[in-house]
Amino acid sequence: MCYFYNMVKAVIIDDEVNVRSLHKQLLTDNFQDIEVVAEADSVTDGIAIIKQYDPDIVLLDIEIKGGTGFNVLQKCRPYRFKLVFITAFNDFAIKAIKFSAMDYILKPVNEFEFIQAIENAMERIEQQETEQQLTNFMDHYEKKTQSKKLVLRTAEAMHLVDIADILYCKSDNSYTTFFLKDQKEILVSKGMKEYAELLEGFDFLRPHQSFLVNLHGIKMVDKADGGFIIMNNGREIPVSSRRKQKLLSMLEQL
Protein backbone atom coordinates (compact mmCIF):
# COMPACT_ATOMS: atom_id res chain seq x y z
CA MET A 1 0.00 0.00 0.00
CA CYS A 2 1.20 3.53 -0.80
CA TYR A 3 1.63 6.18 1.89
CA PHE A 4 1.15 9.89 1.19
CA TYR A 5 2.33 13.00 3.02
CA ASN A 6 -0.98 14.71 2.12
CA MET A 7 -4.34 13.10 2.64
CA VAL A 8 -5.90 11.48 -0.40
CA LYS A 9 -9.32 13.03 -1.04
CA ALA A 10 -12.16 10.68 -1.96
CA VAL A 11 -15.82 11.19 -2.84
CA ILE A 12 -18.57 8.55 -2.91
CA ILE A 13 -21.42 8.84 -5.42
CA ASP A 14 -24.14 6.24 -4.84
CA ASP A 15 -27.91 6.56 -4.41
CA GLU A 16 -28.07 4.05 -1.53
CA VAL A 17 -27.25 5.71 1.79
CA ASN A 18 -26.38 2.40 3.47
CA VAL A 19 -23.88 1.60 0.69
CA ARG A 20 -22.25 5.02 1.06
CA SER A 21 -22.01 4.51 4.82
CA LEU A 22 -20.47 1.07 4.44
CA HIS A 23 -17.90 2.23 1.91
CA LYS A 24 -16.99 5.23 4.04
CA GLN A 25 -16.51 2.96 7.07
CA LEU A 26 -14.34 0.54 5.07
CA LEU A 27 -12.17 3.42 3.90
CA THR A 28 -11.82 4.75 7.45
CA ASP A 29 -10.97 1.32 8.86
CA ASN A 30 -8.43 0.33 6.21
CA PHE A 31 -6.86 3.47 4.73
CA GLN A 32 -5.39 6.03 7.11
CA ASP A 33 -4.33 8.23 4.17
CA ILE A 34 -7.82 8.61 2.66
CA GLU A 35 -10.36 11.22 3.71
CA VAL A 36 -13.93 11.08 2.39
CA VAL A 37 -14.56 14.77 1.71
CA ALA A 38 -18.07 14.50 0.22
CA GLU A 39 -20.92 12.20 -0.74
CA ALA A 40 -23.70 12.44 -3.35
CA ASP A 41 -26.66 10.38 -4.51
CA SER A 42 -27.47 11.93 -7.91
CA VAL A 43 -25.98 13.02 -11.20
CA THR A 44 -26.32 16.73 -10.41
CA ASP A 45 -24.79 16.49 -6.93
CA GLY A 46 -22.10 14.08 -8.13
CA ILE A 47 -20.90 16.55 -10.75
CA ALA A 48 -20.99 19.35 -8.18
CA ILE A 49 -18.83 17.61 -5.54
CA ILE A 50 -16.24 16.49 -8.09
CA LYS A 51 -15.87 20.05 -9.37
CA GLN A 52 -15.86 21.53 -5.86
CA TYR A 53 -13.45 19.15 -4.11
CA ASP A 54 -11.19 18.01 -7.00
CA PRO A 55 -10.85 14.52 -5.46
CA ASP A 56 -8.02 12.04 -6.00
CA ILE A 57 -10.37 9.04 -5.99
CA VAL A 58 -14.03 8.80 -7.03
CA LEU A 59 -16.21 5.85 -6.05
CA LEU A 60 -19.02 6.00 -8.61
CA ASP A 61 -22.16 3.88 -8.85
CA ILE A 62 -23.34 3.12 -12.39
CA GLU A 63 -27.04 3.58 -11.56
CA ILE A 64 -27.82 6.76 -9.59
CA LYS A 65 -30.63 9.30 -9.25
CA GLY A 66 -31.19 11.41 -12.34
CA GLY A 67 -29.33 9.09 -14.71
CA THR A 68 -26.10 7.12 -14.62
CA GLY A 69 -22.53 7.48 -13.50
CA PHE A 70 -21.63 8.01 -17.16
CA ASN A 71 -23.67 11.23 -17.15
CA VAL A 72 -21.42 12.39 -14.31
CA LEU A 73 -18.25 11.50 -16.18
CA GLN A 74 -19.37 13.33 -19.32
CA LYS A 75 -19.42 16.60 -17.34
CA CYS A 76 -16.18 16.14 -15.38
CA ARG A 77 -13.44 16.20 -17.99
CA PRO A 78 -10.48 16.35 -17.86
CA TYR A 79 -10.23 13.39 -15.48
CA ARG A 80 -7.74 14.22 -12.74
CA PHE A 81 -8.99 11.47 -10.44
CA LYS A 82 -8.76 7.69 -10.24
CA LEU A 83 -12.13 6.04 -10.73
CA VAL A 84 -13.52 2.96 -8.98
CA PHE A 85 -16.91 1.87 -10.29
CA ILE A 86 -19.60 0.56 -7.93
CA THR A 87 -22.10 -1.77 -9.55
CA ALA A 88 -24.63 -4.49 -8.92
CA PHE A 89 -24.01 -7.39 -11.27
CA ASN A 90 -24.28 -6.01 -14.79
CA ASP A 91 -22.49 -8.33 -17.20
CA PHE A 92 -22.33 -5.81 -20.02
CA ALA A 93 -20.96 -3.00 -17.83
CA ILE A 94 -18.46 -5.29 -16.11
CA LYS A 95 -17.18 -6.52 -19.46
CA ALA A 96 -16.64 -2.93 -20.62
CA ILE A 97 -14.83 -2.18 -17.34
CA LYS A 98 -12.55 -5.20 -17.80
CA PHE A 99 -11.75 -4.24 -21.40
CA SER A 100 -10.45 -0.97 -19.97
CA ALA A 101 -8.51 -2.48 -17.02
CA MET A 102 -10.48 -0.35 -14.56
CA ASP A 103 -11.24 -1.19 -10.94
CA TYR A 104 -14.74 -1.91 -9.72
CA ILE A 105 -16.57 -2.93 -6.55
CA LEU A 106 -19.42 -5.39 -6.95
CA LYS A 107 -22.55 -5.12 -4.80
CA PRO A 108 -23.04 -6.62 -2.27
CA VAL A 109 -19.57 -5.53 -1.22
CA ASN A 110 -16.85 -8.03 -0.41
CA GLU A 111 -14.38 -6.39 1.99
CA PHE A 112 -11.31 -8.07 0.51
CA GLU A 113 -12.27 -7.04 -3.06
CA PHE A 114 -13.09 -3.53 -1.87
CA ILE A 115 -9.66 -3.11 -0.26
CA GLN A 116 -7.94 -4.51 -3.34
CA ALA A 117 -9.75 -2.10 -5.67
CA ILE A 118 -8.87 0.91 -3.50
CA GLU A 119 -5.25 -0.19 -3.15
CA ASN A 120 -4.99 -0.44 -6.93
CA ALA A 121 -6.37 3.09 -7.30
CA MET A 122 -3.98 4.42 -4.63
CA GLU A 123 -0.98 2.91 -6.38
CA ARG A 124 -1.90 4.63 -9.65
CA ILE A 125 -2.74 8.11 -8.39
CA GLU A 126 0.37 9.63 -9.98
CA GLN A 127 -0.21 7.94 -13.34
CA GLN A 128 -2.05 9.91 -16.02
CA GLU A 129 -4.15 7.13 -17.53
CA THR A 130 -7.79 7.71 -16.58
CA GLU A 131 -8.67 9.63 -19.76
CA GLN A 132 -7.61 6.78 -22.07
CA GLN A 133 -9.25 4.14 -19.92
CA LEU A 134 -12.58 5.97 -19.68
CA THR A 135 -12.62 6.74 -23.40
CA ASN A 136 -12.10 3.05 -24.12
CA PHE A 137 -14.74 2.12 -21.53
CA MET A 138 -17.31 4.43 -23.14
CA ASP A 139 -16.55 3.04 -26.59
CA HIS A 140 -17.21 -0.51 -25.41
CA TYR A 141 -20.23 0.36 -23.30
CA GLU A 142 -21.90 2.52 -25.93
CA LYS A 143 -20.69 0.42 -28.91
CA LYS A 144 -19.32 3.54 -30.59
CA THR A 145 -16.46 1.91 -32.47
CA GLN A 146 -16.04 -1.17 -34.64
CA SER A 147 -12.28 -1.22 -34.04
CA LYS A 148 -12.21 -2.42 -30.45
CA LYS A 149 -9.31 -1.89 -28.08
CA LEU A 150 -8.14 -3.66 -24.94
CA VAL A 151 -6.29 -1.93 -22.12
CA LEU A 152 -3.38 -4.00 -20.76
CA ARG A 153 -1.95 -2.71 -17.49
CA THR A 154 1.54 -3.78 -16.47
CA ALA A 155 3.72 -2.75 -13.54
CA GLU A 156 5.53 -0.26 -15.76
CA ALA A 157 2.90 1.08 -18.16
CA MET A 158 -0.60 1.00 -19.59
CA HIS A 159 -0.99 -0.27 -23.16
CA LEU A 160 -4.00 0.47 -25.35
CA VAL A 161 -3.97 -2.38 -27.87
CA ASP A 162 -6.10 -2.96 -30.97
CA ILE A 163 -7.70 -6.37 -30.48
CA ALA A 164 -7.02 -7.18 -34.13
CA ASP A 165 -3.29 -6.73 -33.47
CA ILE A 166 -3.22 -9.51 -30.85
CA LEU A 167 -1.83 -12.65 -32.51
CA TYR A 168 -2.06 -14.98 -29.52
CA CYS A 169 -1.70 -15.18 -25.73
CA LYS A 170 0.17 -17.63 -23.56
CA SER A 171 -0.75 -18.49 -19.99
CA ASP A 172 1.74 -18.97 -17.16
CA ASN A 173 -0.37 -19.64 -14.05
CA SER A 174 -1.61 -16.22 -12.91
CA TYR A 175 0.23 -14.35 -15.68
CA THR A 176 -0.63 -13.90 -19.35
CA THR A 177 1.74 -12.84 -22.14
CA PHE A 178 0.24 -11.11 -25.18
CA PHE A 179 2.09 -11.58 -28.48
CA LEU A 180 1.29 -8.83 -30.98
CA LYS A 181 1.62 -8.69 -34.76
CA ASP A 182 4.53 -6.24 -34.48
CA GLN A 183 6.41 -8.87 -32.41
CA LYS A 184 5.89 -6.88 -29.22
CA GLU A 185 5.23 -8.90 -26.05
CA ILE A 186 3.22 -7.62 -23.06
CA LEU A 187 3.13 -9.51 -19.75
CA VAL A 188 0.19 -8.83 -17.42
CA SER A 189 -0.48 -10.22 -13.97
CA LYS A 190 -3.91 -11.69 -14.73
CA GLY A 191 -4.89 -15.21 -15.68
CA MET A 192 -5.97 -16.34 -19.13
CA LYS A 193 -9.59 -17.08 -18.18
CA GLU A 194 -10.64 -13.43 -17.95
CA TYR A 195 -9.18 -12.56 -21.35
CA ALA A 196 -10.66 -15.65 -22.98
CA GLU A 197 -14.11 -14.51 -21.83
CA LEU A 198 -13.53 -10.94 -23.06
CA LEU A 199 -12.20 -11.92 -26.48
CA GLU A 200 -14.48 -14.83 -27.34
CA GLY A 201 -16.70 -12.48 -29.37
CA PHE A 202 -13.74 -11.34 -31.48
CA ASP A 203 -12.85 -14.70 -33.08
CA PHE A 204 -10.44 -15.85 -30.37
CA LEU A 205 -10.30 -19.46 -29.23
CA ARG A 206 -8.33 -21.55 -26.72
CA PRO A 207 -7.02 -24.51 -28.75
CA HIS A 208 -5.05 -25.58 -25.69
CA GLN A 209 -5.29 -24.75 -22.00
CA SER A 210 -2.13 -22.62 -22.17
CA PHE A 211 -2.96 -20.64 -25.33
CA LEU A 212 -5.55 -18.21 -26.67
CA VAL A 213 -5.30 -17.50 -30.41
CA ASN A 214 -6.70 -14.99 -32.86
CA LEU A 215 -8.26 -17.17 -35.57
CA HIS A 216 -7.42 -14.53 -38.17
CA GLY A 217 -3.74 -14.97 -37.31
CA ILE A 218 -3.62 -18.69 -38.14
CA LYS A 219 -1.55 -19.66 -41.19
CA MET A 220 -2.11 -23.41 -41.10
CA VAL A 221 -3.60 -26.22 -39.02
CA ASP A 222 -1.61 -29.45 -39.07
CA LYS A 223 -3.94 -32.37 -38.28
CA ALA A 224 -1.19 -34.97 -37.89
CA ASP A 225 -0.86 -36.75 -34.54
CA GLY A 226 -2.21 -34.50 -31.79
CA GLY A 227 -2.37 -31.56 -34.15
CA PHE A 228 -0.95 -28.05 -33.94
CA ILE A 229 -1.46 -24.55 -35.32
CA ILE A 230 1.11 -22.51 -37.20
CA MET A 231 0.56 -18.79 -36.66
CA ASN A 232 1.46 -16.07 -39.17
CA ASN A 233 4.68 -15.39 -37.24
CA GLY A 234 5.72 -19.03 -37.56
CA ARG A 235 4.97 -19.98 -33.95
CA GLU A 236 3.64 -23.52 -33.47
CA ILE A 237 0.82 -23.84 -30.92
CA PRO A 238 -0.50 -27.22 -29.73
CA VAL A 239 -4.13 -28.23 -30.17
CA SER A 240 -5.76 -30.49 -27.60
CA SER A 241 -7.74 -33.38 -29.08
CA ARG A 242 -10.99 -32.31 -27.40
CA ARG A 243 -10.77 -28.77 -28.82
CA LYS A 244 -9.70 -29.66 -32.37
CA GLN A 245 -13.20 -30.00 -33.83
CA LYS A 246 -14.37 -26.67 -32.41
CA LEU A 247 -11.27 -25.00 -33.84
CA LEU A 248 -11.90 -26.44 -37.31
CA SER A 249 -15.60 -25.50 -37.17
CA MET A 250 -14.85 -21.90 -36.22
CA LEU A 251 -12.22 -21.58 -38.95
CA GLU A 252 -14.75 -22.77 -41.54
CA GLN A 253 -17.15 -20.03 -40.45
CA LEU A 254 -14.65 -17.16 -40.83
Q: Is the pTM of this model over 0.85?
A: no
Helical spans, DSSP H, in 17-80:
17-30, 43-53, 69-74
CATH code at position 134: 3.40.50.2300
Q: How many domains does the chain have?
A: 2
- Give the pLDDT of residue 124: 78
233 and 183 in a single domain? The answer is yes
254 residues of the chain, pLDDT tens digit each: 444 447 899 999 999 999 999 999 999 999 999 999 999 999 999 999 999 999 999 999 988 999 988 899 889 988 889 999 998 866 667 777 787 778 888 888 999 999 999 998 888 776 666 667 777 776 666 665 555 888 898 878 888 899 999 999 999 988 999 999 999 999 999 899 989 988 988 999 999 999 999 999 999 988 776 689 999 999 999 998 888 888 888 888 87
Kindly state whether residue 162 falls inside one of the protein's structural domains.
yes
**Where is the domain boundary, 110, 141, 172?**
141
134 and 161 in a single domain? The answer is no
CATH code at position 172: 2.40.50.1020
Task: Determine contact, residues 237/228, Cβ cutoff 8 Å.
Answer: yes
Instruction: State how far the Cα of 178 lies from the Cα of 167, in Å rounded to an integer.
Output: 8
91 and 134 in a single domain? The answer is yes
**Where is the domain boundary, 83, 118, 141?**
141
- Give the pLDDT of residue 74: 86
Instruction: State how far the Cα of 98 lies from the Cα of 160, in Å rounded to an integer.
Output: 13
Kindly state whether residue 147 falls inside one of the protein's structural domains.
no
Kindly report, residue by residue over 122-165, the tens digit of the pLDDT: 887 766 666 677 777 766 666 655 558 888 988 788 888 999 99
16 and 122 in a single domain? The answer is yes
Helical spans, DSSP H, in the chain:
17-30, 43-53, 69-74, 91-99, 111-123, 130-142, 192-199, 244-253
Kindly state whether residue 3 falls inside one of the protein's structural domains.
no
227 and 163 in a single domain? The answer is yes
What residues make up the domain containing 31?
8-141
Kindly state whether residue 166 falls inside one of the protein's structural domains.
yes
160 and 90 in a single domain? The answer is no
Burial of 187 (0-12, 13-18, 19+ CB in 10 A): middle
135 and 193 in a single domain? The answer is no
- Give the pLDDT of residue 111: 94
Provide the β-strand partners of residue 38: 11
- Give the pLDDT of residue 219: 93
33 and 101 in a single domain? The answer is yes
- Give the pLDDT of residue 1: 44
Residue count of the chain, please give it.
Answer: 254
**Where is the domain boundary, 92, 110, 141?**
141
137 and 165 in a single domain? The answer is no
25 and 61 in a single domain? The answer is yes
- Give the pLDDT of residue 129: 62
